[in-house]
A = this chain, B = another copy of it.
């Protein structure tokens, strides 16, 4: 798994889980999807379990399942559960007392708050079901084209 690809890797995993709703998938299986190893998977999606997006069970036949229907899982929740930040820049003071810095941070924080609200809104409107629908569309297309050939 590459750096900065935690969101897309996790979505990848979740779509696979959505496609096998009744079958618990092991960390091992999930890891192969995103070319990494089981411990990294567990660590990465541990937050999703805490958020109820997935459930895990131990022992024989154990593994991971979606915690609720794909329609009820938004990218916003997933992003938060992963602990991802939506904006990559910091606004922490480094020169307390400097009025120039205070002005910069104030303006930047206003921007950040407005921007994060906008992004979160957009992410709330996209669900895991949208992703699986897109996947199935692609899958059917391939089916048709390979049938034609």
Q: Which of B34, B92, B108, B115 is A7 in contact with, Cβ under 8 Å?
A: B108
**Is A85 positioned at the interface, with any CB of B under 8 Å from its CB?**
yes
Chain A positions 35-62 with a Cβ under 8 Å from a chain B Cβ: 35
Q: Could you tell me the distance in whole angstroms from the C-beta of A142 to the nearest C-beta in chain B?
A: 7
Q: Which residue of B lies closest to A11 (CB)?
A: B104
Q: A residues engaging B (CB < 8 A)?
A: 1-9, 11-12, 15-16, 19, 33-35, 75, 84-92, 94-95, 98-108, 111, 114-115, 118-119, 122-123, 126, 130-132, 134-135, 137-139, 142
Q: List 10 A-B contacts (CB under 8 A).
A: A8-B89, A8-B90, A8-B105, A8-B108, A9-B94, A33-B98, A34-B94, A86-B88, A103-B134, A111-B123
